[in-house]
Amino acid sequence: MLSIIKLGDPTLRKHSVVVPDINGDVRTLISEMFEAMNAGKGVGLAAVQVGELFRVFITRVPGDSPRIFINPDILETSIEEEPFEEGCLSIPGLYTDVVRSSSVRIQAWNAKGRPFSLTADGYLGRVIQHEFDHLNGILFIDRIDPTKKQRLLSGYEAKVEA
Please identify, among the stretches 3-11, 72-80, 81-89, 100-108, the one whose residues bind Zn ion according to the rule CB under 5 A: 81-89
Q: Which is nearer to Zn ion, 26 or 88 (CB)?
A: 88
Kindly report the length of the chain. 162
φ, ψ (nearest 5 deg) of residue 115? -75, 150
Give CA–CA dist 159/144, Å, rounded: 20
Tally the C-alpha atoms within 13 A of residue 131's C-alpha that lie toward its C-beta. Answer: 32
Residue 88 found at the interface with Zn ion (CB under 5 A):
yes
Question: Least separation, in Å, of the C-beta of 90 and Zn ion?
Answer: 5
Please identify, among the stretches 61-69, 82-90, 111-119, 146-154, the one whose residues bind Zn ion according to the rule CB under 5 A: 82-90
Q: Which is nearer to Zn ion, 22 or 50 (CB)?
A: 50
Contact between residue 55 and residue 70 where contact means Cβ atoms under 8 Å apart? yes
Nearest residue (beta carbon) to Zn ion? 88
**Binding-site size, Zn ion (CB under 5 A):** 1
Question: Least separation, in Å, of the C-beta of 140 and Zn ion?
Answer: 6
Question: Least separation, in Å, of the C-beta of 59 and Zn ion?
Answer: 11
Active site residue 131: yes
Task: Find the catalytic residue in 35, 131, 157, 161.
Answer: 131
Which residues of the shown chain bind Zn ion in the complex (CB under 5 A)? Answer: 88
